[in-house]
Amino acid sequence: MLAGFAQAESVTVYSARNEQLIKPLFDAFTKETGIDVKLLTDKEGPLMERLKAEGKNSPADILMTVDAGNLWQAAEQGLFQSTKSGVLDANVPVHLRDPKGQWFGLSQRVRTIFYNPKTVKPSDLSSYEDLANPKWKGKLCLRTSKKVYNQSLVAMMIAQHGEAKTEQVVKGWVANLATDVFADDTKMLEAIAAGQCAVGIANSYYFGRIVDKKPDFNVKIFWANQNAEGVHVNVSGAGVTKYAKNPKAAVRLIEWLSSDKAQNLYATKDFEYPVNPKVKPDGLVADWGSFKPNPINVSKAGELQAKATQLMDRVGYK
Amino acid sequence: MSESTLSEAALIAAPPLLRAERHGRRAWRGVLYALPIALLTLIPLAVVLASFLDPQPEIWAHLGQYVLPSVLKNTAILLVGVTMGVLLLGVPLAWLTAVCEFPGRRFFDWALMLPLAMPAYVLAFVQIGLLDFTGPVQTWLRDTWGDSSWFPNIRGTGGVLLVLSLAFYPYVYLLARNAFATQGRRALEAAQMLGVSRRAAFFRVAIPMARPWIIAGVTLALMETLADFGAVSIFNFDTFTTAIYKAWFALFNLPAASQLASLLVLFVLVLAVVEQRVRGARHYHVKSSHAERIRLAGAARWGAMLWCALVLAVAFIIPLIQLLLWVKGVWVDDFDDRYPAFIGRSVALAAMAAVLLAALALALAYARRRYQGRATQWLVRLAILGYAVPGTVLAVGVFIPVAWLDNLLLAALQPLGFEGFQVLKGTVAVMLLALAARFMAVAFQPVDTAMQRITRNQEEAARSLGLSSGQVLRRLHLPLLRGGLFTAMLMVFVDVMKEMPITLMTRAFGWDTLAVRVFEMTSEGMWDRAALPSLFIVLAGLLPVFLLIRHSDRH
């Protein structure tokens, strides 16, 4: 109880989001509020195990990670506390945060279809489900099913269509593969550009990073499922930990990250989309035009992730 | 059997071994030495394996049907393939540099150790980057001939085996080189006396003589292969380790993950017992040989040089050039004033771990030597298991008991006015203990093989001069073990520099090292930006290699 006197206010963040993407923001926050931010990075799995093992004696105030599946999982394991904040309710749309207020999305990433304009016309494309159509045989590239982004995408499809239909679709994808699945999105996009395949599914910011360096990169973006429920979005986000020692400062930091001035930097620095609807994306991301996002709550992805993983195992999606 | 008679003839009959103190009051003393060291590994493993008691029938049904068949097949392929690969690379290269004479030998002698400093995941990424469909090689083929579809797929099984063999052959090379350097020419002398050809001398005398060292090196390579997650994920090649990660992070089932991990551990124990069986006794002679090196003539000279150059190029030079090219692009943005601190911490941590592990390995090897009770032997086997366990699994196994102790300590201290949330957590001591659990095998193998060089009657002679055990260790063992201890320190140093999961999990706030920087970049697939810290890891890894060379030149 003596703590907090005679020392500057500080907040401790456990983050699976990379240091280079968040540290500039934390520095700006400290400059503005005088609240010091301590940062510890690791993969999300080990961070959660760490929080569990530390229990009441954890120094962490905030857990920050990418992917709704991971956020849902942390909430499921009782690592977060609920936060009531008018500011966050206003800044973060309902479908991009936990219904119980345990975590909040802070940036949006779109997982959509990319194609090689030399071999594919945008009019050939429509939806994720359509990529299972035999017309794409030997033309599809995918990233490994071990990556959480694909697990979330398939989980959302299960939420939408049920397991049986989703299994049909994923089976169709596997049948259409042009080559072994890739370990990362960047390599997969390069394969599309080189003509190893014609279409693939990737996160928008991987594309952004390439195009930023190579403006004439031979791949185009296509917003999937616009005539249906909308394109699949995922988030990176944060929540206040259950045993936070500085919950007030922690809430303040999350609110600040969702605010107008932080959102643009937080999201577009890595070619992501702001969650705050008042903030317009700028630069490269703005050039890709607007899209209709799937309004289903992203926490669904977490709930169904294990199911999705098993489904992908069953159909031999490596 | 002519072979066995040959190698026996080549050996001056070893003195009759005195019966080790197997029984009675002394047997427990071996346990006393070995148990505390083994506990470093056993406690984290026990924590991980405890969840074996929590059956997960549903998940196991799924794993058994859809995941395990391919995982078991792939793991078997990896073990067999990597064994072949490191043998084919490590043993001939060691023979060439230790026993033969050809242009560039003195350079290759040390240069062929350098791939040790190249992390396997970096090598994997670079080779895929170069040789895949989108890489420069195939792109050039398509631009020139219009087709590259005949080109072998680097992202297949062959590619994984190639990369892991290139990454791990230095373990075999280093240990075999030690053996050949001290006995290879004696073997030749013996063979010449018997009038057999050089080829026969190599296969029938030198290899059997060096077998224990070669097997020790292969064991390290295989343990590293089993634990590897970085390189196999880049190839998206499903192994036991990737299945453990899948059960844990995708199926959210920690019990199932640790049950898989227990199977892996069980498997490694079997491997350890097999190793002991095939290793055979180590005969050793400390007498130096006056035999000349084999002067290779004609095509063999250039062949030897080209072969060394090729391995070095593919395993080290080309990846290094690729790293440098990437660094050139990101240097300006990424190199900042924090780098000296990253480098300093990495080097300090690696150096401390190297010294600590050399000391622990010496204690273990000594215990095993003096007290050959069954219990001691098993403790030694268990103590080196950590090297075959995936890093993240071991990291969590270390962290849980440390956090538990911390919670107890804090409960006791906080009423006394202690403010803070950690006593042990985030201390360098805990980090070092965790690294010790991980890398015990790396330190133990070279020290233990060196320990075998000391004949029993040397010890007896020393004792009969009235020296105490401590004096025998200091005056007889240490000088003879110097080479083994040095090799152990080198390998540990380089391994700790590259190590990621334990460093991430046990480090204190702000205690970032080069490996942590690599993690920050690679976890988002920013390979070009990971090149900068990777390059420094490689450069810092050169330091002990140079020290080792200077050391071995003096002797």
Q: Do B407 and A56 lie within an 8 Å CB cutoff?
A: yes
**Among B93, B365, B86, B382, which Cα is nearest to B215's?**
B86
- The secondary element (H helix, E strand) that includes residue A201 is strand A199-203
Number of CB atoms found within 10 A of residue A10's CB: 17
Nearest to A194 among B134, B156, B400 (CB): B134
Q: A–B: how many Cβ contacts below 8 A?
A: 129
In this predicted structure, what is the pLDDT of residue A97? 95
Q: Are B245 and B392 in contact (CB under 8 A)?
A: yes
Phi, psi for residue B447 in degrees, rounded to 5: -70, -40
* Beta strands A104-115 and A10-15, pairing class: unpaired
Q: Convert B279-329 into a string of H (helix), E (strand) and C (coil).
A: HCCCCCCCCCCCCCCEECCHHHHHHHHHHHHHHHHHHHHHHHHHHHHHHHH
The CA distance from A40 to B425, in Å, is: 13
Inter-chain contact B505–A12, Cβ cutoff 8 Å?
A: no
- CA pair distance B352, B434, nearest whole angstrom: 13
Write out pLDDT tens, residues A97-144. 999 999 999 999 999 999 999 999 999 999 999 999 999 999 999 999
Q: Do A46 and B66 touch (CB under 8 A)?
A: no
User: What pLDDT is stored for residue B283 in this prediction?
Assistant: 53
Per-residue pLDDT at B274: 83
Place of tokens 């052959």: B169
Closest to B282 (Cα-Cα) out of B369, B191, B198:
B369
CB B176 within 8 A of CB B208: no
Is B466 touching A (CB cutoff 8 A)? no
Which residues does B280 contact at the CB level (< 8 Å), separation at least 6? B211, B212
Q: Give the single-character DSSP code of B508.
A: P
Say if the Cβ atoms of B521 and A44 lie within 8 Å: no
Q: How is residue A214 written in tokens?
A: 């190579």
3-state SS class at A212: helix
Return the higher-pLDDT residue of A90 and B451.
A90
A110: helix, strand or coil: strand
Decide the pairing of beta strands A273-274 and A140-141. Answer: unpaired
Residue whose structure tokens are 């046990």: B506
B contact test, residue of A48, A50, A73 with most B CBs within 10 A: A50
The CA distance from A275 to A279, in Å, is 8
Q: What is the pLDDT along chain B (555 residues), one digit of tens a residue?
A: 343 433 333 333 333 333 444 445 566 777 888 898 999 999 998 888 887 778 888 889 999 999 999 999 999 999 999 999 999 999 999 999 988 899 999 899 889 988 988 889 889 988 998 899 988 889 999 999 888 888 888 898 999 999 999 999 999 998 898 888 877 677 777 777 778 777 777 888 788 888 888 999 999 999 999 999 889 999 999 999 999 988 888 888 888 888 888 888 888 888 888 887 776 555 555 455 556 788 888 888 899 999 999 999 999 999 999 999 989 988 887 888 889 999 999 999 999 999 999 999 999 998 888 877 788 888 888 899 899 888 888 888 888 899 899 889 888 888 887 777 777 888 899 999 999 999 999 999 999 888 877 777 777 888 888 888 778 878 888 888 888 898 899 899 999 999 988 998 888 888 899 999 988 888 777 888 888 999 999 988 888 877 776 766 555
Segment A171-212, tens digit of pLDDT: 999 999 999 999 999 999 999 999 999 999 999 999 999 999
Residues of A in contact with B252 (CB under 8 A): 73, 76, 305-306
Phi and psi at A113, nearest 5°, equal -95, 140
Looking up tokens 């033969």 gives B100
Q: Which of A66, A142, A184 is the best residue to mutate to test the B interface, defined by the most B CB atoms within 10 Å of its own CB?
A: A184
Residues of chain B with C-beta less than 8 angstroms from the C-beta of A180? 153, 155-156, 236
Q: What is the pLDDT of residue B514?
A: 93
Set of chain A residues whose Cβ sits within 8 Å of the Cβ of B394:
none
Per the DSSP assignment, residues forming a β-bridge with A36 are: A10
Whether B99 contacts B183, CB under 8 Å? no
Taking an 8 Å cut-off on Cβ atoms, the answer to whether A42 and B66 are in contact is no
Rounded to 5°, the CA angle B258-B263-B268 comes to 120
Test mutation, B160, B421, B502, B506, chain A, max A CBs within 10 A = B421
B172-221 pLDDT, tens per residue?
998 898 888 877 677 777 777 778 777 777 888 788 888 888 999 999 99
Q: What is the DSSP letter of B18?
A: P
Name the residue among A49, A58, A187 with its Cβ closest to that of B421.
A58
Q: Which amino acid is at B124?
A: A
Phi-psi region of B502 (alpha: psi -120 to 50; beta: other; left: phi over 0): alpha
Whether B520 and A19 lie within 8 Å, measured CB to CB: yes
Cα–Cα distance for residue pair A181/B238, rounded to 1 Å: 12
Separation between Cα atoms, residue A108 and residue A267, nearest integer Å: 7
